Amino acid sequence: MPTVTLNRNVVESLIGKKTPIEKLRDRISMLGTDLESISDTEIVVEIFPNRPDMLCEQGFARALSSFLNIKTGLKNYTVQKSGYFCKVEKTLEVWPYTVNAIVKNLKFDDESIREVMQLQEKLGTTLTRHRKKGGIGIYPLDKIKFPIRFTTMKLNEIKFRPLDSSKEMYADEILEKHPAGIKYSNILQNQKEQPVFIDANNQILSIPPIINSYDTGRITQSTKDVFIECSGPDLNILNVALNIIVTSLADMGGKIFSIDVINKNKKITTPDLSPKTMNLDVKYVNKILGLNLKEKEIKKYLMMMGFDYKNKNALVPSYRNDILHQIDLIEEIAIAFGYEHFPTEITSFGSIAEEDQFEKFKRKIQDILVSLSFIQVNAFCLTNEDKINKKMNTNYDTVKLLNSINQEYNAFRYWLLIGRTFNSKNELDHLCVVISNSKTNFTELKQILDALFTALGIEYKLDVLTHPSFIEGRTGSIIIKDKAIGFIGEVHPDVILNWDLENPIVALELNVNELFEKL
């Protein structure tokens, strides 16, 4: 989950009211973000993935100010027509969509440039999943000439100076050498052509989702109006990303203008900031929450979360992408009501507790062994080949992990530890009993085995067994009702030395699942 550092002064001036730090600390947590720290100048919060609209000062302040009951309800943003259009000429099948907008009348300084860049970057890592679901470009309007074309070109035909570079480069060079190219070239891999935005002067604006042009794609303090494009495979995500950006820029003082995106004969006008409606059943709300809220109260709570409510419908802001079902609205109502205000009450139906029979059996075995003065260990299920096989002089087929970052723990243990064991077919619970001291021997452990089976009321016998980890002639398989369910023996000194140990070891291992079945 992304952590953002927000300028507290900017947030508070957007809210329009100073709030004591203790109250902020509490309210920010109870609004549904993970507050990490707060100081006089900064608010550091982890934003949950369902709220990309809160990744910048503007969106965060918008949510907080309505939650604090300062400016509640759906916020209206006016969109004027720019008269510009973007022509979709040719697209990759995997990168077919674009949506655009213009925001004018902005005043940039170092701080607001930082805010916009942080928003763009964090949207990239979260909402668009590291640009896999879309690229976002922001350009100074005065550097480009409409109409814009969204098309594709061969890699060796695309040449421009990318951001963070001192010279012009070909697209294939960018993908190979430029830091952004190296980082994101895997998204549109194995494509002969690359998507590009080109303006009416035939300037290349960018190759999405990799990088913008240095000449046309750089916001500076003198920038007043900006052009924004989002392109990618998921139109829904692109619209949300665009809406989050334009509403944030509007909250910075900008005016939003639309662009017509023309694809063959189809025209869409973006951004579309009209709220979506979702039907809300008051009875359902009260049933899920266990409350008795009136429609009027529900409306009040929805407005505290930046929504509106009319004629049994919730109006959902255009920058919210997480409202899939009315259950999502219920959570909004619950947050506004305050999780801390819910009464405490457990369900009233009668129910019968039941411990799992096998778990109970395992507990009994543990109790018996503890009463025989054994000390129980609890170790990781994950281990490695060296420990499972090499040191034990065995050759078991283990279950391996594909991607463990710990090379010491890249396989599941196959045997010889208390607890869960793993083979290619099964997960089984094994019991392992080990005695080690300077003069231990087979007899000492067989006495324990006798005691265990006497306590369980099970008869067993031993058959001679050869096992590579144990001394031949001092190893047996444990037989119950003609079935071998384990083994017991003196561990071979080679194995003891493999583990850098010095004392004799006797060990037994039992398949507890089979033992349970034989009861």
Span interacting with other proteins, options 45-53, 157-165, 248-256, 437-445, rule CB under 8 A:
45-53
CB closer to other proteins, 29 vs 221:
29
CB closer to other proteins, 190 vs 351:
351
**Shortest reach from residue 108's CB to other proteins, in Å:** 32
Residues in contact with other proteins, shown as a per-residue x/- string from 338 to 357 under the rule CB under 8 A: -xx-xxxxxxxxxxxxxxx-
CB closer to other proteins, 176 vs 427:
427
Cα–Cα distances (Å) from 368 to 120, 379, 453, 462, 477, in that order, read 62, 20, 10, 21, 21
CB closer to other proteins, 121 vs 215:
121
When asked if residue 358 is in the footprint of other proteins (CB under 8 A), the reply is yes
Q: Cα–Cα distance between 349 and 145 in angstroms, integer?
A: 69
**Shortest reach from residue 277's CB to other proteins, in Å:** 13
Site for other proteins in 224-253 (CB under 8 A): 234, 236
CB closer to other proteins, 175 vs 365:
365
Relative orientation angle of helices 235-251 and 110-125, to the nearest 10 degrees: 160
Relative orientation angle of helices 295-304 and 282-289, to the nearest 10 degrees: 80
Site for other proteins in 48-87 (CB under 8 A): 48-51
Q: Cα–Cα distance between 173 and 161 in angstroms, integer?
A: 11
**Shortest reach from residue 463's CB to other proteins, in Å:** 29
Cα–Cα distances (Å) from 475 to 22, 69, 464, 494, 517, in that order, read 68, 76, 6, 15, 24
When asked if residue 132 is in the footprint of other proteins (CB under 8 A), the reply is yes
- Name 128's Cβ contacts closer than 8 Å, sequence gap at least 6: 134, 135, 136, 209, 232, 237, 241
Pick the binder of other proteins from 93, 110, 190, 290 (CB under 8 A): 290
Pick the binder of other proteins from 22, 93, 359, 397 (CB under 8 A): 359
CB closer to other proteins, 428 vs 465:
428
When asked if residue 334 is in the footprint of other proteins (CB under 8 A), the reply is yes
Site for other proteins in 422-481 (CB under 8 A): 422, 424, 427
Site for other proteins in 479-518 (CB under 8 A): none
When asked if residue 364 is in the footprint of other proteins (CB under 8 A), the reply is no
Q: Is 462 left (phi over 0), alpha (psi -120 to 50) or beta?
A: beta
Largest CA distance in the chain: 94
When asked if residue 289 is in the footprint of other proteins (CB under 8 A), the reply is yes
Residues in contact with other proteins, shown as a per-residue x/- string from 146 to 185 under the rule CB under 8 A: ----------------------------------------
Residues in contact with other proteins, shown as a per-residue x/- string from 389 to 408 under the rule CB under 8 A: ----------xxxxxxxx--
Q: Cα–Cα distance between 516 and 480 in angstroms, integer?
A: 11
Span interacting with other proteins, options 6-14, 419-427, 443-451, 461-469, rule CB under 8 A:
419-427
When asked if residue 292 is in the footprint of other proteins (CB under 8 A), the reply is no
- Picking from 320, 314, 318, the residue whose alpha carbon sits closest to that of residue 101 is 318
Residues in contact with other proteins, shown as a per-residue x/- string from 269 to 288 under the rule CB under 8 A: ------------------xx
CA torsion 335-337-343-347 (nearest 10°) is -60
When asked if residue 93 is in the footprint of other proteins (CB under 8 A), the reply is no
DSSP string computed for 205-273: EEETTTEEBTTTS---TT---EEEEEEES-HHHHHHHHHHHHHHHHHTT-EEEEEEEEETTEEEEE---
Q: Cα–Cα distance between 100 and 228 in angstroms, integer?
A: 5
- Picking from 11, 121, 122, 118, the residue whose alpha carbon sits closest to that of residue 60 is 11
Q: Cα–Cα distance between 52 and 245 in angstroms, integer?
A: 10
Pick the binder of other proteins from 304, 369, 392, 510 (CB under 8 A): 369
**Shortest reach from residue 343's CB to other proteins, in Å:** 5
Q: How many residues at the interface with other proteins, by CB under 8 A? A: 77
Q: Cα–Cα distance between 54 and 62 in angstroms, integer?
A: 8
**Shortest reach from residue 31's CB to other proteins, in Å:** 7
When asked if residue 303 is in the footprint of other proteins (CB under 8 A), the reply is no
CB crowding 144-169: b at 16 or more within 10 Å, else e: bebebbbebbebeebebebeebeeeb
- Name 29's Cβ contacts closer than 8 Å, sequence gap at least 6: 35
Span interacting with other proteins, options 109-117, 141-149, 167-175, 379-387, rule CB under 8 A:
379-387
Relative orientation angle of helices 295-304 and 57-67, to the nearest 10 degrees: 150
Span interacting with other proteins, options 98-106, 128-136, 261-269, 493-501, rule CB under 8 A:
128-136
Look up residue 388 and give its DSSP letter: I
When asked if residue 377 is in the footprint of other proteins (CB under 8 A), the reply is yes
